[in-house]
Amino acid sequence: MLFESVADSRVDGLTLPNVCRRSAPLLAVFFLLSIVSLGLAEPIFANQPTSPGQTLWAAAVAAATREDWQTAAINFERLHREFPASELAEEALWRAAELRRKIAEQDPDPDWDQVRALFRLYLSDYPDSLRADAAYLAMGMAYFQMRFLREALTHFRLFERRYPHSPLVPRARYWQALTMVETGALAEAVALFRELTREPDEELRLEAIVELGRTLATSGDHPGAIDTFHGLLRDYPQLRFNNVELLFDLGLSYLRAGREEQGREQLFIFINLLPDSLLRPLALFEIGESRRRQGDLEAAQRLYAQVLEEGDPGQRELVLARFRQVEHLDAIGRPPEDPADPADDRFYLEVIDRFGHDAIAQDARYSLFKRVKLRNDLVGATELATSYLRRSPPQPAAEPGLTRAGELMVFLVRELLARGEYQRIYHLYVNEYHHVVAYEPGRLRLLIGQAFEALGLYLQAAEIYLRALAGSLDRDELIELYYRRAEVYFVLRDLVAAERLLSHLRLVYVNKPELVEIYYLIGRLREEEQRYDEALEFFRQALAKPAAASRRDKHGRGYLRALAAVNEYGEMLSVLVRFQREQGLSFKDLQAWYRRAGDGLRRHGLVESAITAYRAAVAVEMPVAGKDYQVANFHLGVLLADQGEAAEAGKRLELARIGPDQLLAAMAVKELNQLIIAKEMTRMRSLFE
């Protein structure tokens, strides 16, 4: 009968934790047994001899007879308080405490502190009572029900020291183990439950076995839980019908261990044997989750719909089933409402807010992340991705693969790179390194390496890029990785490593489109080695082949640097005209290189070509501010003045006078003054002639 009461307590609707609900009815049984053991097995409300307080005693007994527990408890308390010397006082206080415990078990808002106070009063007033040990244990139980777990654990641990010969010592150790479960000391609880499974008291032994199985399941040892429940049902087959909830526990353990078919079978048996159980919606939901994990989405959705039909509003299983339905609709591209409407996020937020520490809350965060990202709310998406990662523990047993956390890391790092928040990427890498390791594709490390480059951590970036090669990468990502490895070697001046890498790549990519990038990188290497003629040849080959637009400007700048290094400014000018026509460089870059070409041509005495270059640098489409604009105008003005084009020369020098370089501005003023003097001299000469 005890196991039947345990089963009923699992679904009594109280707001206590599961372990409290399972164990609450044990209190009544325990105290009744203690009364019997002490020779007080007469009917609990039998008449007593005439004594002071007899009227209150009779009123309490009458109230108890009609199951008015509140009135009965009040009268017993009054008897003890008003007639403490009465021979009925001790029994009245004990019965008052017992009734208050009974009321607390049935009250949706129980007053366990009152229960504790009454047993404490009993222990204080009657320390030598034969029921002192029971009162002390009852105080610990009240603390447990109040969720004062530290005090409860202290009581249960001290019980054996205070009452070493009490027959209730095993029961106190049982409650100690239950309290350890609630405080998270699962290993200690398992050890204590194992000891209790060897107790001679069969009832206590069975309870310990059941709690051992549940604790093993809570600790994640699902195979151990399965073995425990199986052994119990094998040795006591009647429990399959007397305590049907064992099948529920066994089914959940099977599911958590990945044995889906066996888990669903046990849960279906539980539902059939106990169709009115309040655990039925949870069982249906767990079966639906199992179907979902195995890809049978239609069956899962039918089970979720049944949960919604049978569950109570606000019930955990109902909230989760509704979330799974909406998540499914989002996944197949048919959201119930516009996914851009933030109001529809409520189905996900309710799961996150109410069950944030459960595993399913991670599904809600990830699905909500996708909704938020869909409406281009990158700030909200970043916050959700960060929240997911903070609550995603490492999975040391998992093989590296395409993990959800890894995909969120890729998103986060890309966003932070775009914002230039490289330090945050560094801390993300350090704090979430287990996710980096678990993510097989190399793209995450490729992105992280770029942040390390930006922070000047080139040695670390080189190591990260090397590790990225072990993961899968598409063609564009792979050539990007090689490009960045080579550039890091250039910065580190490790030209031997760069030569080795590029020689290998030149063989790997022969006659392939990626060869254009290899030519460019070899040109960069020769440039670092100051072998500019060879560098120029490789840059020419890179530019002779089609390349991605994002690379074209880098190839062009490399070519122009090599031309400048070998003083080929004439070719540079023609190349710049071509780049401008093909839009291969930005106008800002074009202006800088036109000015540089003009400087080189001017130094070599090629005045006409220099004027052409400077004119191109200050053309209408070019930027009209900055040092390059000022320098080009100054030298153009001077050259034009030498050519006798005083009017245009004056305009250019006026523009040079208002530039950012003050020394150059002063030189422009001087040249303007020279123009004015020359003009006046010409005018005076014409007068004398």
Q: Are 405 and 388 in contact (CB under 8 A)?
A: yes
Question: How much is the pLDDT for 49?
Answer: 45
Q: Are 598 and 635 in contact (CB under 8 A)?
A: yes
Which residues, listed in sequence order, are joined to residue 439 by a DSSP beta bridge? 401
Question: How much is the pLDDT for 50?
Answer: 57
Question: How much is the pLDDT for 7?
Answer: 30
- Our measurement of the distance from residue 548's CA atom to the centroid of its chain's CA atoms, rounded to an integer in Å, reads 36
Q: Which two tokens stand for residue 111?
A: 């007053």
- Rounded Cα distance, 50 and 640, in Å: 133
- Rounded Cα distance, 618 and 57, in Å: 111
Question: How much is the pLDDT for 400?
Answer: 60
Q: Which helix (H) or strand (E) holds 511?
A: none
For the chain, what's the residue count? 689
Tell me the per-residue pLDDT of 77-87, one tens digit each, with 9 for 90 and over: 999 999 999 99
The helix/strand/coil state of 265 is: helix
pLDDT band at 341 (very low <50, low <70, confident <90, very high): low
pLDDT band at 32 (very low <50, low <70, confident <90, very high): very low
Q: What is the mean pLDDT of the chain?
A: 87
Q: Helices 112-125 and 132-145 meet at what angle, rounded to 10?
A: 160
Residue 656, burial from CB neighbour count under 10 angstroms (0-12, 13-18, 19+)? buried
Question: How much is the pLDDT for 689?
Answer: 58
- Rounded Cα distance, 325 and 327, in Å: 5
pLDDT band at 401 (very low <50, low <70, confident <90, very high): low
Q: Which helix (H) or strand (E) holds 130?
A: none
Secondary structure string (H, E, C) spanning 519-582 = HHHHHHHHHHCCCHHHHHHHHHHHHCCCCCHHHHHHHHHHHHHHHHHCCCHHHHHHHHHHHHHH
Nearest one of 447, 460, 540 to 492, comparing CA atoms? 460
The helices-and-strands tally (H runs, E runs) of the chain is 37, 0
* pLDDT: which is higher, 413 or 8: 413
Tell me the per-residue pLDDT of 437-447, one tens digit each, with 9 for 90 and over: 989 999 999 99
Percentage of the chain modeled with pLDDT above 90: 68
Range in 33-42, 96-105, 224-233, 323-332 with the lowest mean pLDDT: 33-42
Nearest one of 4, 86, 98 to 44, comparing CA atoms? 98
Question: How much is the pLDDT for 17?
Answer: 31
* pLDDT: which is higher, 94 or 682: 94
Q: Are 45 and 69 in contact (CB under 8 A)?
A: no
- Rounded Cα distance, 155 and 132, in Å: 13
Tell me the per-residue pLDDT of 267-280, one tens digit each, with 9 for 90 and over: 999 999 999 999 99
**Burial track 321-350 (b if 16+ CB lie within 10 A, e otherwise):** bbbbbbbbbbeeeebeeebeeeebbebbeb
Question: How much is the pLDDT for 143?
Answer: 96
- What is the DSSP secondary structure assignment for residue 358, as one 8-state letter? S
Task: Report how far apart the first and last C-alpha atoms of the chain are (Å, whole number).
Answer: 137
Question: How much is the pLDDT for 511?
Answer: 87
Nearest one of 118, 109, 107, 184 to 153, comparing CA atoms? 184
Residue 208, burial from CB neighbour count under 10 angstroms (0-12, 13-18, 19+)? buried
Q: Which two tokens stand for residue 350?
A: 């309710």
Tell me the per-residue pLDDT of 410-442, one tens digit each, with 9 for 90 and over: 999 999 999 999 999 999 999 999 899 989 999
Question: How much is the pLDDT for 335?
Answer: 54
Sequence-separated (6 or more) residues with CB below 8 Å from residue 285: 303, 304, 307, 317, 320, 321
Tell me the per-residue pLDDT of 208-246, one tens digit each, with 9 for 90 and over: 999 999 999 999 999 999 999 999 999 999 988 889 999
- Rounded Cα distance, 70 and 102, in Å: 10
Range in 201-215, 325-339, 341-355, 451-465 with the lowest mean pLDDT: 325-339
- Rounded Cα distance, 474 and 182, in Å: 49
* pLDDT: which is higher, 683 or 451: 451
Question: What DSSP string describes 365-394?
Answer: HHHHHHHHHHTT-HHHHHHHHHHHHHT---
- What is the DSSP secondary structure assignment for residue 14, as one 8-state letter? -
Q: Are 9 and 23 in contact (CB under 8 A)?
A: yes
Q: Which helix (H) or strand (E) holds 73?
A: helix 69-82
Range in 35-44, 220-229, 559-568 with the lowest mean pLDDT: 35-44
User: From residue 152, how far is each of 2, 282, 334 by CA, in Å?
Assistant: 23, 30, 52
Q: Are 166 and 200 in contact (CB under 8 A)?
A: no
- Rounded Cα distance, 594 and 610, in Å: 9
Its pTM surpasses 0.75: no
Range in 31-40, 174-183, 407-416, 418-427 with the lowest mean pLDDT: 31-40
Question: How much is the pLDDT for 396?
Answer: 52
Q: What is the mean pLDDT of residues 607-632?
A: 92
Nearest one of 198, 208, 123, 136 to 166, comparing CA atoms? 136
- Our measurement of the distance from residue 492's CA atom to the centroid of its chain's CA atoms, rounded to an integer in Å, reads 36
Sequence-separated (6 or more) residues with CB below 8 Å from residue 410: 439, 443, 444, 447
Q: What is the mean pLDDT of residues 159-179?
A: 96
Q: Are 61 and 45 in contact (CB under 8 A)?
A: yes
Q: Are 299 and 291 in contact (CB under 8 A)?
A: yes
pLDDT band at 44 (very low <50, low <70, confident <90, very high): very low
Tell me the per-residue pLDDT of 92-145, one tens digit each, with 9 for 90 and over: 999 999 999 999 999 999 999 999 999 999 999 999 999 999 999 999 999 999
Question: How much is the pLDDT for 34?
Answer: 40
Q: Helices 346-354 and 359-374 meet at what angle, rounded to 10?
A: 150
